[in-house]
Amino acid sequence: MGKRFVDCEHMHFNSLREDLNYIIYKHRRLKIVAILYPGGKTAKNNPDLLGCAENALGLRDFLERNGHELVVLTDKESELDRHLPSTDVLITTPFWPAYITKERISNASKLRLILTAGVGSDHIDLAAAAAKGITVAEITGSNVVSVAEQVVMHILALIRNYIPAYKQVLDGRWDIAEIAAKAHDLEGKTVGVIGTGRIGQRVCTRLKAFDINLLYYNNFRLSTVEEFVLGVRYTPLEELIEKSDIITINTPLTPETDGMFNRDLLFRMKKGAYLVNTARGKIVNTNALVEALEKGHLAGYAGDVWYPEPAPVDHPWRHMPNHGMVHHYSGTTLEAQKRYADGIKNCLLNFLNGRAIDRDYLIVDDGKVVSPSYSYAFKG
């Protein structure tokens, strides 16, 4: 009875807030700023490349028809700083991350909403956004299959020694012994999945077919039924680190996971193990990883996430041994771009019409970090 009363009060408050938003925003010309990656020549002939600046997530007509101003930037520094004080809504993307620091948030006095075109809003200072009453939302689930497929690709490419073999072919060489000496089957190996949320679980279902020993660590344990369906066994972090032949990281970047794979953890991994990270570059310590590969403690590392992004030409991960690093693109396949572009439009439609943003998309709302993926790390 008490809970129902509280829920009703909450609903009433939310609907008042929606009415208020409607009155404030419905009849105002809003300035919406999007910072997206440059599409260059590729964008010209490819309207499906929705995530680039030129195609602006397909939003231009929709926003301008409704009387709003859309400014699209590729410059994440001075141009962004120039526009921020007059911006009402900011659209960012993990694939070309504008780092929205506390200082930037304090300079953005009109800012009410920050949207992430994709999944992962760690490039935004979430505590600072909460303190300023800014809503932050991302398009939850939009690219999770895209990333899970890439994780499987990276695992196979590493353990089958694919990249050196392909390179030999390009170089005109034919040394089978050199390649086969470092090529393995995936079958029978122990794979550790860290973070079994939307991506991690999809990684498990895809890997299950390879007849492996699948361990997982998550900050809360899955139900017995989930564990059975996914074919995974819960294992404390230290044990998973020490037992796995291959580890895949699928957690958000939070104050807790920032630098989680430090020198100690990397060197506790099995000698000759592989690490795949499509979550965020900052979860792994940059120099400790280079050392672990150079000393031959790890046999290989792959993924698509770096810090910072884009990776500078002298980023040490570009030149470390036995890596399979690529640009940050696993979650921005053409299919994923369509899904997150649709999601951004849906958020804007709701916001501009004074309606609540889909609860699943909310990261920061009403002065709090509300997303279960992040909130535990922002308590207190």
Chain residues that interact with ligand NAD, rule: CB under 6 A:
118-120, 143-144, 147, 194-200, 217-220, 250-254, 256-257, 278-280, 304-305, 328, 330-331, 373
Give the nearest distance from C-beta 376 to ligand NAD in angstroms: 7
Per the listing, tokens 């709302």 go with 365
User: What are the E-state strand segments in 281-357?
Assistant: 298-303, 323-325
Q: Which of 50/70 has CB closer to ligand NAD? A: 50
**Full DSSP string of 122-157:** TTB-HHHHHHTT-EEEE-TTTTHHHHHHHHHHHHHH
Number of residues that make up the chain: 380
Q: Which is nearer to ligand NAD, 74 or 257 (CB)?
A: 257
Q: Are 271 and 292 in contact (CB under 8 A)?
A: no
Nearest to 91 by CA among 346, 334, 311: 346
Q: CB-based contacts of 266: which residues, under 8 Å, 6+ apart?
A: 275, 284, 285, 288, 289, 291, 292, 297, 298
CB closer to ligand NAD, 39 vs 120: 120
**Whole-number minimum distance, CB 4 to ligand NAD, in Å?**
29
Residue closest to ligand NAD, measured at CB: 197
Least Å distance, CB 235 to ligand NAD, is 12
Please state the closest distance from residue 252 (CB atom) to ligand NAD, in A: 3
Amino acid letter for position 174 = W
Least separation in angstroms between residue 64's CB and ligand NAD is 29
Whichever of 165 and 279 has its CB closer to ligand NAD, that residue is 279
Residue whose token pair is 């990656």: 37
Residue 374 · residue 152 · CB < 8 Å: no
**Least distance to ligand NAD from the beta carbon of 97, Å?**
11
Q: What residues contact residue 359 under an 8 Å CB cut-off, 6+ apart?
A: none
Tally: H helices and E strands in the chain: 16, 14
Of 30 and 50, which has the nearer Cβ to ligand NAD? 50
The angle at the Cα of 69, spanning 68 to 73, to the nearest 5 degrees, equals: 145
The distance of closest approach from Cβ of residue 215 to ligand NAD in the complex, given in angstroms and rounded to an integer, is 13
CB of 370 to ligand NAD, least distance (A): 13
The residue among 55 and 218 lying less far from ligand NAD, judged by its C-beta, is: 218
H or E stretch including 116?
strand 113-116
What residues form DSSP beta bridges with 216? 193, 234
Asked if residue 264 lies in contact with residue 242, where contact means CB atoms within 8 angstroms, the answer is no
Instruction: Indicate the residue among 73 and 148 with the shorter CB distance to ligand NAD.
Output: 148
Nearer to ligand NAD, 33 or 199 (CB): 199
- Report residue 187: phi and psi, to 5°: -50, 135
Nearer Cβ to ligand NAD, position 188 or 372? 372
CB of 12 to ligand NAD, least distance (A): 29
